[in-house]
């Protein structure tokens, strides 16, 4: 076998992964060596004869596992963004192995004794604020992983953690398998109503999927939504919508029903072992919300005005159906189609008229421009950086001539990529003994076409994910445990969601929203109509999100989850809140990747709304200055949010930026629900 790239120093620019040399067969031996090395490093810390000190315990732990971080950074990203059968086999094999590895560390009594000793003496250690914070986080990590449990409970907790790791991996692979299996092949006559850019994207999809017809759409959101929005073929809208909603719940070999039931059951048991009433109580104890009651109170506050607005929207759409002489009851696969018609009637605004002004390349430039104006960043595209797929682009990020990190943009949908959009890292920033710059990636699933034109919502997605990317790129902390996005889930969406606001700023739109054929800026009248229609259909958007958040919270608020039927449970929650039948959950349980592929957003999907309270109120700080790029406000946003990682309490971080606690009214006003 050729030399394993993971066992060599990388001589690539900025030590980026040499993707062209990394093959699936390199990962198993790389994992084996990395895990062995990490175990030896941790053993040396545990067996140190000297009394526990911050340097020989916490710093030593932070410095350990560097090879493992390198292997994990590359593998986890490839497994999500450009997977294969070989990678999926390795992913399934490694999930319980990695969970076991971390269990052994966090449940090690001697190792925890060293951390616990330091935590008990923290007041006398004269630690700097970041050192104190990382000590507190390490102690909490151990305690929340079960370090204080008796041996029998530790053993059971370890079994649960390893099983959950495998279930989460299989859940994500099942959803991807259903997405890969389904393609709706179309002839030219099936494209009635679709704008030219959607037709071009359907032609590209047909080529990529090698269909027997010249056009095709898939169950990727960016493929489904334009079809639902414009297609006059109600039969095809229904067919595609049902396939989209059924991902992970088709009753086939990829069905996630049993995995959901077992996951919810095991999470509830895990929480009880750790002394919590429910998994939601356990999860939210380490969040801004602190309790399920606080998170649910926000959801409840928004639900009633959102539902009221959604029902008004439904009635208006049903009236439009009747006006056209049809006698069917509005269904979920009709909503986007008639909403687009109603928006055009009310605001003289046509989505097909907007898309030509939102070119992907120009929106990438717009995001970079915003970051330069706010934070003084420079972006230089590099063709000499190795990439893992031909669609990926790479940029060198710098400020005042100093390199800060690399940014990878991976924007187009493909069968080897899971659905959705996300930010991740191949390497995180740290400054522990040596300065390490981050390697950050944004992954989206826009339809591939030439030119690639985005909807306004897709452009917002691009800005959203780049806000996350900036959180990683601007990180300026000492310890990797506190770097970048290593913050509470209900705080991590603040940097992403606040960045969306600049997409609507005239200085950005006028410069970058230019027609792909004429090069002319979006007419002022069209921009005004776009802004005026910003809250159109907001009842629908809020309700589809909240429904998923309620289902997530209800699953994880169960004290007894031993006999959960996921489908019935979901129906019961939706009935309880009065979910309009014409609206589907944004993420139904069977393909709810946020909460069932891992613990990241479990009992935490509410976080997007919680963070929206922060971002809406936070952007008002700029509005109050009368300048969306006010330098003093931007510096506070940079220093206390984007660059600070997890170095301080999150509520304190927001107060340092805003000068006070957040006000929920700004969020309600932003969604147009204040008077609803």
Residue 28 has a pLDDT of 98
Contact 13, 385 (CB under 8 A): yes
pLDDT at 2 over 80: no
Q: What is the pLDDT of residue 433?
A: 85
**What are the tens digits of pLDDT across the range 448-481?**
988 999 999 999 999 999 999 999 999 999 999 9
Could you tell me the two tokens for 318? 């049903």
Active-site positions read 465
pLDDT at 350: 86
Same fold, 5-106+108-148 and 356-465+474-532: no
DSSP state of 14: G
Per-residue pLDDT at 332: 98
For residues 631-652, average pLDDT: 97
Of residues 134 and 197, which shows the higher confidence score? Answer: 134
Q: Where are the alpha helices (DSSP H) in 405-486?
A: 456-473
Only one residue has tokens 């959604």, namely 310
Mean pLDDT of 520-525: 93
Instruction: Quote the CA–CA distance of 1 and 655 in Å, as a whole number.
Output: 56
Share the mean pLDDT of the chain: 96
**Percentage of residues of the chain with pLDDT beyond 70:** 100
pLDDT in tens, 417-440: 999 999 999 999 999 989 999 999
Q: Which CATH class, in words, describes the domain spanning 5-106+108-148?
A: mainly alpha
pLDDT surpasses 80 at 117: yes
Rg of the chain, C-alpha, whole Å: 25
* pLDDT score of 653: 97
Q: Which two three-digit tokens encode residue 648?
A: 């301080």
Looking at residue 560, its pLDDT comes to: 93
Which pLDDT score is estimated for 224? 96
Angstrom CA distances, 571 to 74, 314, 485, 550, stand at 39, 20, 34, 11
Split at pLDDT 50, 70, 90, the class of 675 is: low
Q: Which residues contact 189 (CB under 8 A, 6 or more apart)?
A: none
Q: CA–CA separation, 623 vs 525, rounded Å? A: 22
Section 648-654 average pLDDT: 96
Assign domain 356-465+474-532 to its CATH architecture: Orthogonal Bundle (1.10)
For the cut 80, the answer to whether the pLDDT of residue 502 exceeds it is: yes
In tens, the pLDDT along 481-495 reads 999 999 999 999 999
Average pLDDT over residues 212-230: 95
User: From the CB of residue 74, how many other CB atoms can be counted at a distance below 10 Å?
Assistant: 23
What are the domain boundaries of the chain?
Answer: 5-106+108-148, 182-246, 257-349+537-605, 356-465+474-532
What's the pLDDT band for 631 if we cut at 50, 70, 90? very high
The predicted structure's pLDDT at residue 339: 97
What is the mean predicted confidence (pLDDT) over 351-361? 93
The mean pLDDT of 262-267, rounded to a whole number, is 98
**DSSP per-residue letters across 75-131:** HHHHHHHS--HHHHHHHHHHHHHHHHHHHHHHT-HHHHHHHHHHHHTGGGS---HHH
Per-residue pLDDT tens for 93-103? 999 999 999 99
Amino acid 1: pLDDT: 57
Q: Is the peptide bond before 451 cis (omega within 30 degrees of 0)?
A: yes
Is residue 673 exposed (0-12), middle (13-18) or buried (19+ Cβ within 10 Å)?
buried
pLDDT digits (tens, 9 = 90+) for 588-611: 999 999 999 998 899 999 999 999
- Write the class of the CATH domain 257-349+537-605: mainly alpha
Give the C-alpha separation, 11 to 17, whole Å: 9
Strand, helix or coil at 178? helix
Mean local confidence (pLDDT), 498-526: 95
Helix (H, G, I), strand (E, B) or coil at 629: coil
Give the model's pLDDT for residue 351. Answer: 85
Q: What is the pLDDT of residue 674?
A: 79
Residue range 308-338, pLDDT digits in tens:
999 999 999 999 999 999 999 999 999 999 9
Residue 669 corresponds to which tokens in the numbers above? 């006003």
Reduced to 3 states (helix: H, G, I; strand: E, B; else coil), residue 534 is: coil
Query: Token digits for 343?
Result: 């928006």
Q: Give the three-state DSSP class for 226.
A: helix
Each residue of 120-137: pLDDT tens digit? 999 999 999 999 999 999
State the pTM of this model: 0.95
Q: What is the pLDDT of residue 272?
A: 98
């Amino acid at each position: 076998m050729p030399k394993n790239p993971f066992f060599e120093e990388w001589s690539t620019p900025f030590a980026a992964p040499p993707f062209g040399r990394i093959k699936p067969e390199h990962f198993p031996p790389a994992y084996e060596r990395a895990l062995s090395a990490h175990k030896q490093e941790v053993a040396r810390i545990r067996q140190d004869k000297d009394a526990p000190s911050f340097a020989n315990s916490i710093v030593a732990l932070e410095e350990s596992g560097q090879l493992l971080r390198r292997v994990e950074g590359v593998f986890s990203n490839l497994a999500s963004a450009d997977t294969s059968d070989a990678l999926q086999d390795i992913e399934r094999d490694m999930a319980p192995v990695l969970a076991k590895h971390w269990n052994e560390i966090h449940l090690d009594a001697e190792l925890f004794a060293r951390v616990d000793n330091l935590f008990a003496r923290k007041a006398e250690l004269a630690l700097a604020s970041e050192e104190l914070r990382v000590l507190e986080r390490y102690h909490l990590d151990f305690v929340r992983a079960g370090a204080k449990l008796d041996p029998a409970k530790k053993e059971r907790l370890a079994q649960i953690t390893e099983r959950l790791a495998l279930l989460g991996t299989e859940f994500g692979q099942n959803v991807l398998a259903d997405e890969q299996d389904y393609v709706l092949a179309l002839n030219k006559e099936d494209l009635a109503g679709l704008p030219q850019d959607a037709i071009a994207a359907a032609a590209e999809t047909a080529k990529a999927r090698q269909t027997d017809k010249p056009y095709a759409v898939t169950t990727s959101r960016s493929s489904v939504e334009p079809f639902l929005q414009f297609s006059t073929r109600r039969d095809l809208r229904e067919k595609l919508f049902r396939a989209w909603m059924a991902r992970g719940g088709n009753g086939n070999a990829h069905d996630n029903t049993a995995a959901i039931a077992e996951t919810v059951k095991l999470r509830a048991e895990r929480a009880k072992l750790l002394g919590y009433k429910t998994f939601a109580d356990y999860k939210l104890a380490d969040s801004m919300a602190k309790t399920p009651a606080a998170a649910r109170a926000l959801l409840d506050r928004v639900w009633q005005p959102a539902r009221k607005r959604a029902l008004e929207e439904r009635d208006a759409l049903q009236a439009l159906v009747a006006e056209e002489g049809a006698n069917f009851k509005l269904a979920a696969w009709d909503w986007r189609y008639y909403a687009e018609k109603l928006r055009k009637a009310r605001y003289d605004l046509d989505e097909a008229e907007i898309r030509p002004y939102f070119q992907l390349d120009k929106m990438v430039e717009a995001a970079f421009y915003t970051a330069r104006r706010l934070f003084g960043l420079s972006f230089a595209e590099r063709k000499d950086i190795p990439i893992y797929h031909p669609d990926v682009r790479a940029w060198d990020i710098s400020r005042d001539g100093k390199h800060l990190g690399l940014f990878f943009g991976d924007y187009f949908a493909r069968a080897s990529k899971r659905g959705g959009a996300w930010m991740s890292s191949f390497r995180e920033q740290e400054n522990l003994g040596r300065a390490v710059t981050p390697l950050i990636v944004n992954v989206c699933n826009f339809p591939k076409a030439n030119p690639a034109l985005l909807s306004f919502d897709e452009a917002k997605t691009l800005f959203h994910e780049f806000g996350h990317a900036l959180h990683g790129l601007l990180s300026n902390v000492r310890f990797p445990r506190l770097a970048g996005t290593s913050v509470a889930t209900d705080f991590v969406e603040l940097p992403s969601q606040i960045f969306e606001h600049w997409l609507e700023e005239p200085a950005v739109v006028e410069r970058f929203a230019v027609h792909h054929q004429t090069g002319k800026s979006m007419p002022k009248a069209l921009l005004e109509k776009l802004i005026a229609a910003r809250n159109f259909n907001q009842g629908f958007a809020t309700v589809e999100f909240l429904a998923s958040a309620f289902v997530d919270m209800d699953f994880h608020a169960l004290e007894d989850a031993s006999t959960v039927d996921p489908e019935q449970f979901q129906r019961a929650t939706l009935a309880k809140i009065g979910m309009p039948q014409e609206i589907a959950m944004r993420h139904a349980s069977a393909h709810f990747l946020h909460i069932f592929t891992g613990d990241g957003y479990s009992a935490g999907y509410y976080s997007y709304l919680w963070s929206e309270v922060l971002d809406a109120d936070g952007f008002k700080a700029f509005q109050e200055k009368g300048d969306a790029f006010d330098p003093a406000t931007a510096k506070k946003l940079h220093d206390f949010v984007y660059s600070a990682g997890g170095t301080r309490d999150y509520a304190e971080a927001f107060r340092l930026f805003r000068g006070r606690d957040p006000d929920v009214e700004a969020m309600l006003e932003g969604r147009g629900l204040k008077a609803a």
